[in-house]
Structures are given as structure tokens and as C-alpha cells.
Amino acid sequence: MPISRLPIDEQIDALREILSRNTVLIDVLARAAELNLPGWYLTSGCVFQTVWNVVTGCPATDGILDYDLFYFDRADLSWEAEDTVIRAGREVFAGVPAEVEIRNEARVHLWYEQKFGVPCRPYSSTEAAIDSFAATTCCLGIRAEAGGRWRVYAPHGLSDVFNLVVRPNPVQAPRHVYETKTERWRRQWPTLTVLPWPACRLHDGKLTT
């Protein structure tokens, strides 16, 4: 039976087994827990692309550009506070054979428009930030908790991830971000099914052209 047809608890077990094949990810996950950042998740490409690699029979780390570590702390929205965490992370992740990119999602709205050309309302949590990824398939985060338990955040489920389907999520990121990312992903994982950006998008809960 395909993994995507399993009950959700068995899908989560399968996700953990697949991700465990990426030893870099497991190392980053364990070290990230040491930082004890508020609301943290390891998220984005390093998670769903590990699944793509394993499902397609590729080495688990192929094509993964970096390991995104999100946290949420609105007590101090200064760059200096975030940079302090980033520098602490450099020490914790020293020796990891990959780039670990740490970002405080509470301050994304301060720089998002300059980088992507559209405004971004302040996020209320790390989960809200993950909800805004350009593809629903990307909306996946994990973190290690006490007792070896994993917390998995997957607001759109796991079926598309296992089935190599990339589905647009037109709630925040602009179309060009989705299309730029999917163009690269198709080159790396040619068996992906990439669904087109819709003619309309959601804005404040309403469809707009």
C-alpha cells in the first residue's frame, strides 16, 4: 500500500523512518534542541526534499541547499537579538557538513517586502510562518522533544510529500517565488508533479485576481 494511503499515525511513523536516513538532518535536529529556542522547527526543503530523495531512490541529502531552523521570539525584534542567536548557532552546528540557516519568524515582516516585493503581516507563531510557504507541500516542520518524541507540524497533511506532488499555496509568497523554486526542483527531481499557480490567489481570506 502506498504510504499516502496509510492512516495518519502510520504516515508519521513512515516520515520519521525516512527522515532518519538523512544523518545530517538527524544531527541538526539533535543539536537544534540544545539551543532551546522558543517555538522552533526544522522546516522547509531539508525535510520534504529528504522524503523526495528517499522515495526516488536518491541519496538522502541530494539537492538540499541548507537546513532551515525557524523560531519565534517577539520579545526583541532587533537584528542584533537575532544575530546573537545565529552566532550561538554557529557554535552549536560547528562541524555539520551543511549550512544551517536560523531565522526569527517574529521579525520576517520587517524585511519581507524588500526581498520579495510584497508586504507581509507579522506572524503570530512559527506555525503561521510555515503556513505561508509558497507550496503547501513545503508546509512541514519537525522538532525533537523530551523523551525522543518528535513534534510534526503538517497543516496540509503528508500525502503530497510522499506522492511527489507540489501544490501552490497562494496566501503570501508571490507567483515568481513559486515558479523559481519549482523550476529548480524539477531539474533535481524530474518525476515531480508540479501544479500550476492559480489565476486567483487568496488575500485576506478572499480570492483576488
For the residues 54-76, what does the mean pLDDT come to? 97
pTM given for the model: 0.92
Model pLDDT, residue 38: 97
Q: What is the pLDDT of residue 153?
A: 97
What's 6-30 look like in SS3?
CCHHHHHHHHHHHHCCCHHHHHHHH
- Percent above pLDDT 90 for the chain: 89
Pairing of strands 67-71, 150-153: unpaired
pLDDT at residue 185, rounded to an integer: 97
Within 8 A by CB and 6+ apart from 190, the residues are: none
Looking at residue 146, what is its pLDDT? 87
Mean pLDDT of the chain: 94
Asked if residue 4 has pLDDT above 80, the reply is no
For residue 202, the model assigns a pLDDT of: 53
pLDDT of res. 207 = 47
Q: Which residue has the cell 557554535?
A: 91
Convert 108-154 into a string of H (helix), E (strand) and C (coil). HHHCHHHHHCCCCCCCCCHHHHHHCCCEHHHCCEEEECHHHCEEEEC
Checking if the pLDDT of 80 tops 80, the result is yes
2-6, 66-70, 94-98, 139-143: range with lowest mean pLDDT? 2-6
| 11-21 residue pLDDT tens | 999 999 999 99
pLDDT at residue 13, as a whole number: 93
> Rounded distance, CA 92 to CA 106, Å?
22
Is a pLDDT exceeding 50 seen at residue 209?
Answer: no
Note the pLDDT of residue 158.
96
What are the grid coordinates assigned to 14, written together? Answer: 513512515
